[in-house]
């Protein structure tokens, strides 16, 4: 069975600083996709960034970047220059095709 593990339930970062959120997953598939979703208090699910497993290059979206280590099955999210609006629940998700399998999420707070 495919599982996604986010072992840190909470993290805090000072505004303008950098924070890294960890995620590991377990799969026997060779081709798959990994995602980070943001869920603010409104509970809307918002896609932050996506990584294709066949790509060696780490994905980047503005202040958000990932460190994808396929052999270690690790997929961490780095948020640079943290802003107050980044405060939310962040979910790591995995998909070989179709459905998404989510981790338990991590609550990120941003200190002004």
Partner 1 sequence: EPEVTQTPSHQVTQMGQEVILRCVPISNHLYFYWYRQILGQKVEFLVSFYNNEISEKSEIFDDQFSVERPDGSNFTLKIRSTKLEDSAMYFCASTRREPTIHEQYFGPGTRLTVT
What are the residues binding partner 1 (CB under 8 A)? 32-33, 42-47, 50, 91, 93, 95-105
Closest contact distance (angstroms) between CB of 28 and partner 1 is 17
Q: Which is nearer to partner 1, 3 or 12 (CB)?
A: 3
| 3 state SS for the chain | CCEEECCCCEEEEECCCCEEECCEEECCCCCCEEEEEEECCCCCCEEEEEEECCCCCCCEECCEEEEEECCCCEEEEEECCCCHHHCEEEEEEEECCCCCEECCCEEEEEEC
Q: Tell me how far apart the alpha carbons of residues 37 and 50 are, in angstroms, rounded to a whole number.
A: 9
Q: Which is nearer to partner 1, 82 or 93 (CB)?
A: 93
Q: Which is nearer to partner 1, 93 or 110 (CB)?
A: 93
Closest contact distance (angstroms) between CB of 43 and partner 1 is 5
Q: Which is nearer to partner 1, 28 or 112 (CB)?
A: 28
Closest contact distance (angstroms) between CB of 100 and partner 1 is 6
Closest contact distance (angstroms) between CB of 112 and partner 1 is 26
């Amino acid at each position: 069975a495919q599982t996604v593990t986010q072992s840190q339930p909470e993290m805090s970062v000072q505004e303008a600083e950098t924070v890294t959120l960890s995620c590991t997953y377990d799969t026997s598939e060779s081709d798959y996709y990994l995602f980070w979703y943001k869920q603010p208090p409104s509970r809307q699910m918002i896609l932050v960034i996506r990584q294709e497993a066949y790509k060696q290059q780490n994905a980047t979206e503005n202040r958000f970047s990932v460190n994808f280590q396929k052999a270690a099955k690790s997929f961490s999210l780095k948020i640079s220059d943290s802003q107050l609006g980044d405060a939310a629940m962040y979910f790591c998700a995995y998909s070989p095709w179709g459905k998404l399998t989510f981790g338990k999420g991590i609550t990120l707070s941003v200190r002004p």
